[in-house]
Structure 1
Amino acid sequence: MNAARELASHPTVMSHEALRVLAQWLKNNGPIRVRKTDPRRLLAERYPAGLITEAELEALAGIWQG
């Protein structure tokens, strides 16, 4: 068996051109930025109105923020 041939046919091996394109994309777009969301708003949007009381919403938001 030829180890180099097996390596070249592996699905995770990328061509030099694909690596160059990926590197250029990362250079142009930078790191992924995680959006900071308001936990109260997120919880209020996720659950139907009236399901969670204001006190429960405050408690959940407090736990979320740590």
Structure 2
Amino acid sequence: MNATSEPVSHPSVVNLEALEAVAQWLKHHGTLRVRKTDPRRALVERYPQGLITEAELDALLGVCYR
């Protein structure tokens, strides 16, 4: 039982002012753009030089990014 006398908003009720504020922000700033990374470069930078040969790297990338 709800002991308070204040009405409780339903979770699906949207605050129109907040929605308009978000819409304006997106209009001015655009949507988030995800930077695409080069998988080869990411692996080369992550592991010590000489740990993975070029042939192994090519094979690994071939399996992961078919």
The alignment's TM-score, normalised by the length of structure 2, stands at 0.62
| Partners of 1:40 and 1:55 in 2: CA distance | 12
Shift of 1:14: 5.7
Could you say which structure has the larger radius of gyration?
2
Q: Which residue of 2 aligns with 1:48?
A: 48
Instruction: List runs of 5+ in structure 2 lacking aligned partners.
Output: none
The alignment's TM-score, normalised by the length of structure 1, stands at 0.62
Specify the SS of the correspondent of 1:49: coil
Query: Where does structure 1 differ by over 6 angstroms across 4 or more consecutive aligned residues?
Result: none
| CA RMSD across the alignment | 3.0
How many correspondences in the alignment? 63
Instruction: List runs of 5+ in structure 1 lacking aligned partners.
Output: none
What does 1:19-34 correspond to in 2, within 5 Å? 19-34=19-34
- 1 or 2, which has the higher helix percentage? 1
| Partners of 1:24 and 1:63 in 2: CA distance | 43
Higher RCO (C-alpha under 8 Å, 6+ residues apart) = 2
Identity %: 57
> In the superposition, relative to structure 1, how do residues 36 and 64 fare at CA in structure 2: closer, same or farther (>3 Å)?
farther
